[in-house]
Amino acid sequence: MRVRRARWLSVAAAILLTGLCTPALGAAASSPPPATTAPPTTVSAPTQDGPGADAARTVEGMTTAEQAASVVMGHIPSTDAAALTAYMSQGLGGFILMGANIPATSAELETLTAALVVDPSLPPLIAVDQEGGLVSRLPADDYASSRTLKGLPVAATSAAFSARGALVAQSGIDVDFGTIADVTADPSSFIYGRALGTDPQGAAERVSAATTAQESFVASTLKHFPGHGAAPGDSHHAIPTTDESLEQWRASDALPFIAGVDAGASLLMFGHLAYTAVDAAPASLSARWHEIARDELGFRGVIVTDDLGMLQSSGIPEYRDPVANAVAALAAGNDLVLMVAGSTPETAGQMVAGIVAAVESGTLSAERLADAATRVLALRLRLSATSADWTLCPTCEPVS
């Protein structure tokens, strides 16, 4: 609990420091939830030595199995603290909270997220899909969502996502899979009600604002790269496809992702959708799309898959094996593999064993696994540092 509460003290103070408590338009005018302890007026962060270098050194000393576990984000539908602690004792890099994990009260949720932390010196990534509106796991989130934000000034997006980020952090959660960078003007699209804009430029402005706001509190995530807007269909049940060219993508669907990357998003979630003119494979399994994200967009953070269980749900025979999907995703360039749909308490361990076997057989290079593990560990170290190492700044004055 100490690590998670420390973050809330820092982020609550950050609200005062940056003036983010100022009421804004619509539902976003609500103030972020109060801290459980009175926060200091302002805070300052100590200089960090560089989590990337520390992560690289740590990964060098890890076994292949430890590296494999560190790139798996698992899930079990439980609110039992002992069961969650036992599950995370496998050394998994992260856990995603779904509706079945959310207890009745915020205090119970803080206890639950604390149970996921086996080693307080290196907490796992604890994630949630907290977009607001249609996709909202935390019941206390009554801030404005994309349904209204796309029609309001950009400042409303900043206010709403500041409040949302603070709420997520207060709960002991440090990763929000919450920023939709897909763009569509088609009301029949399954992503329309979740998108922050109906045109690339409008979406880009709001994605940038949402990212900047959330990064003050949690690690924000852009999704679903390279964008659902051009690919009709719901990836929870199929592999949506489009014949949009790379040039067309660069001029349209790419813009919100570029804006989010430039704003400092910590994670980029790859979707299970195919731009067949670029690669016939789903982007989540496409080395070409990972090259584009790294080389063209300049993204240097953690790349995470959308739920690999969705690939199984597509009904395509070649995607029926979750372990094979995880190996293929890592080989393509993902750093963190996420498994929710169809996951059992044994699934994460099976994925870890499969990744180890793939390295031993040469199907997955040891270098690629180490690279992925290093990126994930660097993010964990950075979030742990910003949680636990903020110090009071008694001489600072709040910004009016």
Strands (E), 243-384: 267-270, 274-275, 302-305, 337-338
- Determine the average pLDDT of the residues in 26-42: 32
The predicted structure's pLDDT at residue 277: 98
Q: Which of 62, 67, 59, 75 has its CA nearest to residue 364?
A: 67
Q: Could you report the per-residue pLDDT of 198-233, keeping only the tens digit for each?
A: 999 999 999 999 999 999 999 999 999 999 988 887
- Look at residue 172 and tell me whether its pLDDT is greater than 60: yes
Where residue 49 falls among pLDDT bands split at 50, 70, 90? low
Task: Report H helices in 253-299.
Answer: 254-262, 287-291
Task: Report H helices in 146-221.
Answer: 146-149, 154-170, 200-214
**Would you name the residues annotated as active-site residues?**
236, 306
- pLDDT above 90 covers what percent of the chain? 78
- Look at residue 400 and tell me whether its pLDDT is greater than 70: no
The predicted structure's pLDDT at residue 195: 96
Where residue 367 falls among pLDDT bands split at 50, 70, 90? very high
Count helices and strands in the chain by DSSP H and E runs = 15, 14
Q: Could you report the per-residue pLDDT of 270-323, keeping only the tens digit for each?
A: 999 999 999 999 999 999 999 999 999 999 999 999 999 999 888 899 999 999
- Rounded distance between C-alpha atoms, residue 70 and residue 225, angstroms: 23
- pLDDT above 70 covers what percent of the chain? 84
Per mean pLDDT, which range of 67-71, 136-140, 230-234, 305-309 is the poorest?
230-234
- Rounded distance between C-alpha atoms, residue 141 and residue 137, angstroms: 8
The predicted structure's pLDDT at residue 52: 87
Tokens read off for 14: 């950050």
The predicted structure's pLDDT at residue 231: 87
State the chain's mean pLDDT as an integer. 86
Of 394 and 198, the structure prediction assigns the larger pLDDT to: 198
**252 C-beta neighbours (distance < 10 Å), count:** 18
The predicted structure's pLDDT at residue 387: 59
- Look at residue 44 and tell me whether its pLDDT is greater than 60: no
* 51-388 CATH fold: TIM Barrel (3.20.20)
- Rounded distance between C-alpha atoms, residue 7 and residue 388, angstroms: 6
Q: Which of 66, 52, 46 has its CA nearest to residue 6?
A: 46
- Look at residue 8 and tell me whether its pLDDT is greater than 70: no
Query: In Å, what is the CA distance from 167 to each residue of 196, 267, 345?
Result: 20, 19, 28
Q: Which residue has the tokens 């103070």?
A: 13
Tokens read off for 113: 């997220």
Find out whether the peptide bond into 226 is cis, omega within 30 degrees of 0: yes
- Look at residue 184 and tell me whether its pLDDT is greater than 50: yes
Domain residue extents for the chain: 51-388
Question: Taking each helix axis from N to C terminus, what angle separates 322-332 and 347-361, rounded to the nearest 10 degrees?
Answer: 50
Contact 138, 74 (CB under 8 A): no
pTM score of the predicted model: 0.85
Which secondary-structure segment (H or E) carries 349?
helix 347-361
